[in-house]
Amino acid sequence: MAVKIISLNIEGDKHLPEVIGLINRERPEVVCLQEIFEEDFNILIKRFGMKGIFSPTVFIDKPGQPGFGKAGIFGVAMMGKLPGKFGSEYYFKRRGGELPRYQGWPNAGHRTLVWQKIKGKGKREEGRGLVVAATHFTWSKGGQVTSRQRREMRSLLGLLDKIKPDILCGDFNTARGGELWVQLLERFTDNIPPEVDNTLDPVLHYAKGYKIVVDGFFTAAESKVRVESLKLVGGVSDHLAVAAEVKTLTG
């Protein structure tokens, strides 16, 4: 089974025409989006005839915070064209029963994992399937490891042990090569090419000239999944999009 996957932090509503253009050009079967408004998720699944799941993380109650043109429910989403069940679960929730409100700092919201358990295609792939998961991990300045990140990584790893994804992607907000990235490598293989030194868009990201790999595309170490091709696409958000083709292996 061959599947094309896109993962991208879309930076709210700032680049929607570019995101739509990317999906039109690449024609992926699975799209994983971080920093997306629920309203825009509903627009995208209708436009592309996809199904999906949206997991809310924070409520932005005023337009212009933090630099977006609208207010509304904000979170992480996955959508796609292939049959299979979608799911989501929080691995860290802020205090209080209601959805947190944005309060001027980037870690105001919950942290969530979204996934799809894709069914195999045809009789040969029946029962094999593919589990794709995505997240938007805890922010830190410059991708440096913090005590908050350490706590929330422990929770994320526990959830990953439960879901057992073949593929894990998203914006991890921690630098490749650092302590938390190494923890992920105990379970997964990093498929971003080693020569890549930056996943922030050099033009659209506010930290111009700063180079860091924080966006990941991982495959489970024991999974029968191979990345056939992977590229990074600029000009679509303040992060580069990851566009990968993967194939489940027989045997």
> Confidence band (pLDDT; 50, 70, 90) for 126?
very low
201 pLDDT more than 70: yes
**Residue 210 tokens, joined:** 């700063």
Q: What is the pTM of this model?
A: 0.95
- pLDDT score recorded for residue 120: 74
Provide, rounded to the nearest whole percent, the portion of the chain with pLDDT above 70: 96
Produce one character per residue of 88-104: b if its CB has 16 or more CB atoms within 10 Å, e if not. bebbbebeeeebbebee
pLDDT tens-digit profile of 139-173? 999 999 999 999 999 999 999 999 999 999 999 99
Sheet holding 215-220, edge to edge: 84-92, 111-118, 130-136, 167-171, 215-220, 188-190
pLDDT tens-digit profile of 167-194? 999 999 999 999 999 999 999 999 999 9
Q: Are 230 and 192 in contact (CB under 8 A)?
A: yes
- pLDDT score recorded for residue 111: 97
Which structural domains are found in the chain, ordered by start?
A: 2-248 (3.60.10.10)
pLDDT tens-digit profile of 8-46? 999 999 999 999 999 999 999 999 999 999 999 999 999
- pLDDT score recorded for residue 222: 83
Phi-psi map region of 22: left, alpha, beta (phi>0 left; psi -120 to 50 alpha) = alpha
Counting every residue written for the chain, the total comes to: 251
